[in-house]
Structure 1
Amino acid sequence: MTAKTILITGATSGIGLALFELYVARGDKVIACGRNAQQLNKISEKAHQVCQFDVNQPNQIQQQLNNIDKLDVVIFNAGDCQYIDDVKHFEATKFAHIISTNLTSLGWLLEAILPKVKTNGQLVFVSSSATILPFPRSEAYGASKAGMDYLANSLRLDLAAENIDVTLVHPGFVKTPLTDKNDFNMPFLITSDQAAKKILKGVNKRQKYLHFPKRLTLLLKLFSFLPSSIWQKLMTNNNKSKGLNT
């Protein structure tokens, strides 16, 4: 198999780091992007290139990605999750931060990266199964990921003429530094390595849509077909349901 050039954002932890290790082991040239200089330094010897930037800083993005190679696959994986804990005292600053980090930043990344994606290349958006149904406290996180979904699906239409495929990923609960902060039960929790292997397999097949673990995602899809009054009651009556960071 010919080595590919893969760019991964959020490559220093969780799913991004697991994907980095899988692609490196396969012999691909991986450009690891992240905010944490110390963590990037740890993986720099394995990486084809490292790019340190904060996704909320467009100037840093442009500067770091200006001289990268032509790309076969780009995996948009960087993100953050914070919950709106007191909805009557809505935290606009927190909301804006999550929208910027998870959604607005994709515009700056696409501006810098899309011209470098080869014909027959592929974009991969790591979103969340939180977009299947609305969850308590997830106004910011869910809205940002729903926006990512629409962006990915719209890009798929416009990039077809460029022979660039788009893959949208809906993971369920994955054990990462983000989910380690969750204070609620996470059913069907899987490891970052398990999630990365599923993503790699789906990306290799150039699938348009991936969702896993199906025990969770299919259940959420089933609930989504119920009348809203039913699943809303289930959500609001469950005192343990405090959000969904996947």
Structure 2
Amino acid sequence: MSGVLITGATSGIGLQLAKDYASAGVDVLACGRNQTILEQLSSRYSNLTPLMFDLTDVEQTEKVFKSLPFIPKLWIFNAGDCEYMEQGKVDASLMKRVFDINVIGLSNVIQASQQYYEAGHHIGIVGSIASEVALPRAEAYGASKAAVSYLARTLQVDLKPKKIDVSVIYPGFVKTPLTDKNTFEMPMLISVERASQEIRDGLNTRKTHIYFPRKFTTILRLIGLLPYRWQNAITSKLVAQG
């Protein structure tokens, strides 16, 4: 591998991926908004270059991508946010915040980076298993990740003739600063270290779809095959409210 770019590299899964790739000797472009963490990463790893910008700002994103220090062959678009609705109430401003990062931010980095894509390049896009079934209070997060999944699967089709692979990543619950804020039970929660390993293993073999943890995501995928009425009845019990 000649290098990897990772968005959302200052927290959670993205931070762990940046550390693990850098530790393995891979040149890393670590993207994020937290200057302190980016500086800590760059001081620890000589093969890691920090790129600080807000991916919801398309002009700022384009400016950074016009002067990349090198062109990676692996692009991991991981940046995202999660907020839950108050049960039974839709908050439009919350919906916008989540979509601005998860969907518009993703679109901004793809638009800015696509000028560099070549045959043999590989794109990994982090979605969520929440996109495959309707979960309680996830009107914003689940809908945004459903949009991410659709966008990524469409890219798979459109970029295949150019010999560019796209992997869509569907994590279950991973212990990160985001999930630490959750007030409900999170079945089969896994560590961020395991999540990073699952993603890196899946990308290394160029899997088109990467699901983990296997048991939990398989259960939700099977639930997703049922009639919607049955899905709703099951998932409302599967994810207990706090």
Q: Which TM-score band applies after superposition, normalised by the shorter structure?
A: over 0.9
Structure 1 position 115 matched with structure 2 position 118: no
Indicate the SS of the match to 1:71: coil
Indicate the SS of the match to 1:232: helix
Displacement after TM superposition at 1:87 (Å): 3.4
Structure 1 position 75 matched with structure 2 position 76: yes
Alignment correspondent of 1:21: 19
Indicate the SS of the match to 1:87: coil
Say if 2:186 and 2:239, in contact at 8 Å, map to a contact too: no
Task: Extract unaligned runs of 5+ from structure 1.
Answer: none
Indicate the SS of the match to 2:96: helix
Alignment correspondent of 2:230: 230
Aligned pair in 2 of structure 1 residues 86, 231: CA closer, same or farther (>3 Å)? closer
Structure 1 position 205 matched with structure 2 position 205: yes
Matched AA of 2:18: F
Q: Distance in 1 between matches of 2:79 and 2:71?
A: 21
Q: Distance in 1 between matches of 2:223 and 2:167?
A: 24
Displacement after TM superposition at 1:237 (Å): 5.7
Alignment correspondent of 1:4: 2
Alignment correspondent of 2:106: 106
Q: Distance in 2 between matches of 1:94 and 1:240?
A: 22
Say if 2:38 and 2:50, in contact at 8 Å, map to a contact too: yes
Displacement after TM superposition at 1:231 (Å): 2.6
Q: Distance in 1 between matches of 2:74 and 2:106?
A: 15
Q: Distance in 1 between matches of 2:239 and 2:51?
A: 42
Say if 1:125 and 1:169, in contact at 8 Å, map to a contact too: yes
Stretch of structure 1 that moved more, 64-73 or 120-129: 64-73
Q: Distance in 1 between matches of 2:239 and 2:163?
A: 47
**In percent, how many aligned pairs have the same letter?**
37
Indicate the SS of the match to 1:170: strand
Stretch of structure 1 that moved more, 125-134 or 216-225: 216-225
Alignment correspondent of 1:174: 174
| Greater fraction of residues in strand | 1
Indicate the SS of the match to 1:157: helix
Task: Extract unaligned runs of 5+ from structure 2.
Answer: none
TM-score by length of 1: 0.92
Aligned structure 1 segments of 4 or more residues deviating by more than 6 angstroms: none
Say if 1:235 and 1:241, in contact at 8 Å, map to a contact too: no
Stretch of structure 1 that moved more, 18-27 or 34-43: 18-27
Say if 1:83 and 1:137, in contact at 8 Å, map to a contact too: yes
Count how many residue pairs are aligned between Structure 1 and Structure 2. Answer: 239
**Aligned ranges for residues 73-222 of structure 1 at < 5 Å?**
73-88=74-89, 90-222=90-222
Alignment correspondent of 1:37: 35
CA deviation map 1:3-45 (0-9, x unaligned): 4210000111211111111111221110000011111111013
Displacement after TM superposition at 1:223 (Å): 1.5
Indicate the SS of the match to 1:118: coil
Matched AA of 1:210: I
CA deviation map 1:56-89 (0-9, x unaligned): 111221122211122201101111011111534x
Indicate the SS of the match to 2:118: strand
Displacement after TM superposition at 1:204 (Å): 0.6
Say if 1:128 and 1:172, in contact at 8 Å, map to a contact too: yes
Matched AA of 1:161: P
Displacement after TM superposition at 1:226 (Å): 2.4
Say if 1:51 and 1:65, in contact at 8 Å, map to a contact too: no
